[in-house]
């Protein structure tokens, strides 16, 4: 539970602002929003497929890093484009 006490000569607006900041930093809102909808746990088959997909991607990344191609791609692109160009190079579909 977040608790904020009013300081001497503090306006109510700054008190509310400080409270809101504390609530956001505590992560209470994120936890409640996550719990808003039920998300079933992935089954065994989905876990295996995900593990296989991750292993393939990491193998490809390691190969590209060894041949010196991965650093070039990362340097050329910025932000979300970096992920897309890397995914394109690795022949991986993004969700």
Instruction: Note the pLDDT of residue 85.
Output: 67
Q: Is residue 70 a contact partner of residue 80, using CB atoms and an 8 Å limit? A: no
DSSP assignment, residue 44? H
What's the average model confidence in pLDDT over 13-18? 94
Nearest-angstrom CA–CA distance, 61 and 80: 17
Model pLDDT for residues 17-73, shown as the tens digit of each residue: 999 999 999 999 988 898 899 889 999 999 999 999 889 888 888 888 888 877 776
Instruction: State the pLDDT at residue 92.
Output: 64
């Amino acid at each position: 539970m977040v608790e904020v006490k009013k300081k001497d000569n503090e306006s109510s607006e700054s008190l509310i602002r400080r409270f809101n900041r504390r609530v956001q930093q505590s992560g209470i809102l994120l936890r409640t929003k996550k719990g808003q909808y039920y998300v079933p746990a992935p089954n065994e088959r989905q876990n295996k497929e995900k593990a296989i997909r991750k292993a393939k991607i990491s193998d490809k990344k390691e190969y590209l890093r060894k041949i010196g191609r991965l650093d070039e791609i990362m340097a050329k692109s910025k932000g979300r484009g970096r992920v897309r160009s890397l995914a394109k190079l690795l022949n991986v579909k993004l969700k």
